[in-house]
Every structure is written in structure tokens, then in C-alpha cells.
Amino acid sequence: MARITELETNLQADQHGSYHARLIKQLAVRQAELARQLRQPVTPERYRELSALHTACLAARNIVDTLWRRYRMG
């Protein structure tokens, strides 16, 4: 399978899962912080920004997990 990013290269080389775990933890921490901010009173524009970032963190976690599984299984 061709690798096109540093992320893919690092995940493929991560035999023990430490890089994967570190990325997932960083994204989870950021996602939780964004969720906390979304519960605070903010302007509609700021709410849209925070919501987009929250969604992006979730998408990034899914991408990291998908790549990790792909490289471990095949």
C-alpha cells in the first residue's frame, strides 16, 4: 500500500502502538476541551467554529484508527 503522508509512514512504523496511542490521546483531549467550550455561551459564529473543530477531531481520530488497523492487518 502506498504511503503519502508522514502520518501514514509513522503509523506503519509504529509496531508497539505508542505513536497511535499518543495521537488518539491528543485528539481526545482536544475534542473534550472543544466540547466543554461548546457548552459555554458563545456567539453563533464562534459556535460554528468550535463545532467544526470538534467534528474535525472526531474525523482525525477515525482516520488514525483506520490507518492503524489497516497497517496492522495487512
d(CA 53, CA 31) in angstroms, rounded, equals: 8
Q: What is the pLDDT of residues 5-63, one digit of tens each?
A: 899 999 999 999 999 999 999 999 999 999 999 999 999 999 999 999 999 999 999 99
pTM value is 0.86
Rounded CA-CA distance 73/39 in Å is 39
In the chain, the amino acid numbered 8 is E
Structural contact between residues 70 and 12, judged by C-beta atoms closer than 8 angstroms: no
pLDDT band at 1 (very low <50, low <70, confident <90, very high): low
User: Which residue in 14, 58, 16, 18 sits closest to 34, CA to CA?
Assistant: 58
CB of 13 closer than 8 Å to CB of 43: no
